[in-house]
Structure 1
Amino acid sequence: MKNNRFSNATKLTLAALSIAILTACNSTQAVVEQESRQDAAKRIAQENIIVDGHIDVPYRVEKGWEDVTVATASGDFDYPRAVVGGLDAPFMSIYIPASLDNSPASTALAHDLIDSVEAIVGRAPNKFALAYSVADVEENFAKGLISLPMGMENGSPIQGSMDTLKVFYERGIRYITLAHSQSNHISDSSYDLRRQWKGLSPFGKDLVLEMNRLGIMIDISHVSDAAFYQSVEISKAPVIASHSSLRTFTPGFERNMSDDMIKALAKNEGVIMINFGSGFVNPMARTWRDKLGEQRQALIDTFGEDSTEVEDFNTKYAKQNPYPFADLNMVLDHIDYVRDLVGIDYIGIGSDYDGVGDSLPEGLKDVSTYPNLVAGLLERGYSEADIKKILNENVLRVWRKVEEIAAAS
């Protein structure tokens, strides 16, 4: 019998050492793969146009001026962070609070906010440029400039006048969110229990066709379900949801879109641009918000709206009940769901940066973080071609189609 070269103890030691080496190698490989994924994500973000359907910079700087052409101490958007994130075409939201509906103040504010976007470009023409068309976005990208197309959030400033609509088109408005948090003269709102029009008003129905004629995208974020279905039925062009997510993850939250609505949107060849806000993607955040509202209203009913109890309530509630932030994976779940339901061609990005306060998900806190989203898509097996569709191609296809229909009118 031949002698064993090693004792059993030595064999066990060598086996353990081999396992340790293999584990270390696998761990190193995982790190390399992770690094390459992050590098790929950064490359994709920088090489391709990133369109974000909804960023509330104009209203932010209206409330408190900040020069977003340089680094800012607050907010979700400024030029340096946009460059890091690869953001190329953020739609500047011309947001009009529903409290101004049916008043000339809504029209005046809309013009003031458009002025502020023009002022941003005027302060830094080597960094930003206005964009009135898909061609402008592409040309600005080639020049290394960040495009600032504009969308109006709440059609209230139109004030029932097609002439006023045309003025806003001429000033650069390229989509209009028909209503906001209350029913207005155009459409019922998903937030408003009063369904005075049972969808679109008679003027709203005419407005949809006039927007088609001019070349303004119809944005169905915020509107009631009935208004959505009427919009896609009437419109000759695809429509967008500039900053919405999925109701299947947030049952009862009509502001998000149902499966049937997404299917109708896809049939219309439109696009849903996923909202990043925790309350839009995380059901626990919705529950948190609902409970806050219920308890606050109970205190108002008991002590009055101007009471100390009500004044301090939000701070105390948040301290006792930490906010359940969403994370990157929850946002990716919404993207996955749309892809699996109707396909990759109907998905975009509508972050709602500077519009959802401090409720943004972990990993997507500001405009520097788009590469995190891209890396997450890569990790989930999305091809680079599919990622390009999400970043820009789907929404630019819609915008281009809207332009073509307007040109033929």
Structure 2
Amino acid sequence: MRLILLAAALLLATSAHAQDAARKLAQDAIIVDTHIDAPGILMDSWADLGNEAKDREFDYAKARAGGLDVAFMSIYTSARQDADGSAWQAANAMIDGVEALVQRHPDRFAILTSPKDAERLLQGGRVLLPLGMENGAPIGDKLENLKFFFDRGVRYITLAHSANNRIADSSYVIDKQWNGLSPFGRDVVKEMNRLGIMVDVSHLADGSAMEAINISKMPVIASHSAFRHFTPDFERNISDELAKAVAAKGGVVQVPFGTAFIDPASAADTQAHFRAINDFNRRNAELKAQGKPALDRARFDKDWEAAHPPHQSTLAQVLDQIDYGVKLVGIDHVGIGSDFDGVDGELPNELKTVADYPNLVAGLQARGYRDADIRKILGGNLLRTWARIEAGEGK
């Protein structure tokens, strides 16, 4: 019995030491998360993220506890906002919201527009908030709007989201419009290269993603894309071919934490859900043309949720994604893009908020990653890629 107690005590001491080492590295390394959906929630329900917000996955207190330094704020607009012409207004309102947060807490937050400014702005314990635009809808059909949003601080643009748009095809849609990029989309990529805006291929259909990678003169990123190896029929996740193309261009694939991306059963439900929504919208368009009453979207959503209960995911699945990516494209081309505040809380128990990055670090250490390589995954790779794009250094 005494030997058993001694062994248990040793195990606890070893575990505590491992957690301490992980927390220390998380605080010392520069952690860059390329996808946090806080701005959209701020538009729906304001919370002062400069203080603890119990119902949010990102706030200043949690970020400091987890060691998060650079949190890309997602300026997300939906396919519906694209269709009704409100995407421009929505994007600008979200940027205003981020600016207001910074102005309210200049000692805690700063907007980051260049990786060269990161070290200076981090002084004093600030969390830096660069902007990433998820869906190119706010650009409309005006190429000059890219310069407008660049001047407002946007430093990456996810070309499309859940529907085909003026630029590219979505991975969620069965019927592709462009089978690559539109003519306007090709001009968009070239102008993004000129301005120094990162081209983001997450959410894109394979043909659109590959053309964007091929015509870009700069490295490209996938801001929050898990690897399709684990979810073979889920086009939303990045294929091996595309991941290799991103790496060959000098870019980086940022692994998300959301259950919908890393768990095969949940990914299948997610794909089916978007296709069902596409069918629902198509049917309502037909009914409208016939002068008949529309189907009830609230009822559709309620029935879907009842038939598709949430699945569970684990930290191990996130670590498996990173392991696979490192083996596929190399340690210099993998990072993190959590999707915190964007997946309705469907996350591994060990990665519920931005306070939990030390759990990810501990998992990587337990799998044998050197601290220097963990630093690359946590943010070094993304900062290197961003700096090259800003400098106009193609590959």
- Both proteins in one fold, TM over 0.5: yes
Give the SS at the match of 2:253. Answer: strand
Check 1:176–1:309 CA distance in 2 against 1; reply closer, same or farther (3 A cut). closer
TM-score, normalised to structure 1, is 0.88
Q: CA deviation at 1:137?
A: 1.9
C-alpha distance in 2 between matches for 1:71 and 1:115: 21
Q: CA deviation at 1:298?
A: 11
C-alpha distance in 2 between matches for 1:299 and 1:244: 26
Structure 1 counterpart of 2:307, which letter? Y
2:239 corresponds to which of 239, 255, 258 = 258
1:175 corresponds to which of 156, 165, 177 = 156
Asked if the contact 1:118–1:130 (Cα under 8 Å) also holds between the matched residues in 2, the reply is yes
1:189 corresponds to which of 170, 173, 177 = 170
Asked if the contact 2:57–2:354 (Cα under 8 Å) also holds between the matched residues in 1, the reply is yes
C-alpha distance in 2 between matches for 1:165 and 1:404: 18
Asked if the contact 1:288–1:324 (Cα under 8 Å) also holds between the matched residues in 2, the reply is no
Q: CA deviation at 1:66?
A: 1.2
2:373 corresponds to which of 386, 391, 395 = 386
Give the SS at the match of 2:391. Answer: helix
2:137 corresponds to which of 139, 145, 156 = 156
1:370 corresponds to which of 344, 349, 357 = 357
Check 1:291–1:273 CA distance in 2 against 1; reply closer, same or farther (3 A cut). closer
The total of aligned residue pairs comes to 384
Q: CA deviation at 1:311?
A: 6.3
1:110 corresponds to which of 76, 83, 91 = 91
Q: CA deviation at 1:65?
A: 1.2
Asked if the contact 1:56–1:354 (Cα under 8 Å) also holds between the matched residues in 2, the reply is yes
2:256 corresponds to which of 253, 272, 275 = 275
2:207 aligned partner: 226
Asked if the contact 1:280–1:286 (Cα under 8 Å) also holds between the matched residues in 2, the reply is yes
2:61 corresponds to which of 70, 80, 104 = 80
- 2:384 aligned with 1:397: yes
Structure 2 counterpart of 1:341, which letter? L
Check 1:61–1:238 CA distance in 2 against 1; reply closer, same or farther (3 A cut). same
C-alpha distance in 1 between matches for 2:193 and 2:279: 46
Check 1:293–1:267 CA distance in 2 against 1; reply closer, same or farther (3 A cut). closer
Check 1:24–1:312 CA distance in 2 against 1; reply closer, same or farther (3 A cut). same
2:80 aligned partner: 99
C-alpha distance in 1 between matches for 2:275 and 2:389: 42
Structure 1 counterpart of 2:108, which letter? K
Structure 2 counterpart of 1:355, which letter? G
CA deviation digits over 1:270-297, x for unaligned, max 9? 1011011101001122245567789999
Check 1:236–1:294 CA distance in 2 against 1; reply closer, same or farther (3 A cut). closer
Asked if the contact 1:188–1:196 (Cα under 8 Å) also holds between the matched residues in 2, the reply is yes
Q: CA deviation at 1:164?
A: 1.1
2:333 aligned partner: 346
* Gapped regions of structure 1 (runs ≥ 5): 1-19
Give the SS at the match of 2:47. Answer: coil
Between 1:22-31 and 1:82-91, the stretch displaced more is 22-31
Give the SS at the match of 1:101. Answer: helix
- 2:357 aligned with 1:361: no
CA deviation digits over 1:191-231, x for unaligned, max 9? 12221111101111111111111010000001111111111
Asked if the contact 1:272–1:348 (Cα under 8 Å) also holds between the matched residues in 2, the reply is yes
C-alpha distance in 2 between matches for 1:312 and 1:94: 27
1:62 corresponds to which of 43, 57, 61 = 43
Structure 2 counterpart of 1:183, which letter? N
1:132 corresponds to which of 113, 116, 123 = 113
CA deviation digits over 1:354-408, x for unaligned, max 9? 11112111210111100100010011111100100001110001100001107x9
Pairing 1:291-306 to 2, within 5 Å after superposition: 305-306=295-296
Check 1:80–1:341 CA distance in 2 against 1; reply closer, same or farther (3 A cut). same
1:144 aligned partner: 125
Asked if the contact 1:52–1:351 (Cα under 8 Å) also holds between the matched residues in 2, the reply is yes
Asked if the contact 2:233–2:268 (Cα under 8 Å) also holds between the matched residues in 1, the reply is no
Give the SS at the match of 1:244. Answer: coil
Check 1:139–1:223 CA distance in 2 against 1; reply closer, same or farther (3 A cut). same
Asked if the contact 2:201–2:209 (Cα under 8 Å) also holds between the matched residues in 1, the reply is yes
CA deviation digits over 1:76-135, x for unaligned, max 9? 111111111111111000001111225542111111111001001011011000111002
Structure 1 counterpart of 2:52, which letter? A
2:307 corresponds to which of 307, 314, 317 = 317
Structure whose CA Rg is larger: 1
C-alpha distance in 2 between matches for 1:293 and 1:380: 35
C-alpha distance in 2 between matches for 1:121 and 1:100: 26
C-alpha distance in 2 between matches for 1:386 and 1:212: 28
Check 1:108–1:71 CA distance in 2 against 1; reply closer, same or farther (3 A cut). same
C-alpha distance in 1 between matches for 2:96 and 2:40: 11
Asked if the contact 1:299–1:309 (Cα under 8 Å) also holds between the matched residues in 2, the reply is no
Give the SS at the match of 2:35. Answer: strand
CA deviation digits over 1:141-194, x for unaligned, max 9? 233211000010011111122211101000100000000111111111111222
Check 1:296–1:173 CA distance in 2 against 1; reply closer, same or farther (3 A cut). closer
* Identity rate, percent: 45
C-alpha distance in 1 between matches for 2:140 and 2:275: 34
Q: CA deviation at 1:310?
A: 4.6
2:180 aligned partner: 199
Give the SS at the match of 2:54. Answer: coil
Check 1:314–1:190 CA distance in 2 against 1; reply closer, same or farther (3 A cut). closer
TM-score, normalised to structure 2, is 0.91
What value does the CA root-mean-square deviation take over the aligned residues? 2.4
Check 1:229–1:296 CA distance in 2 against 1; reply closer, same or farther (3 A cut). closer
Structure 2 counterpart of 1:174, which letter? R
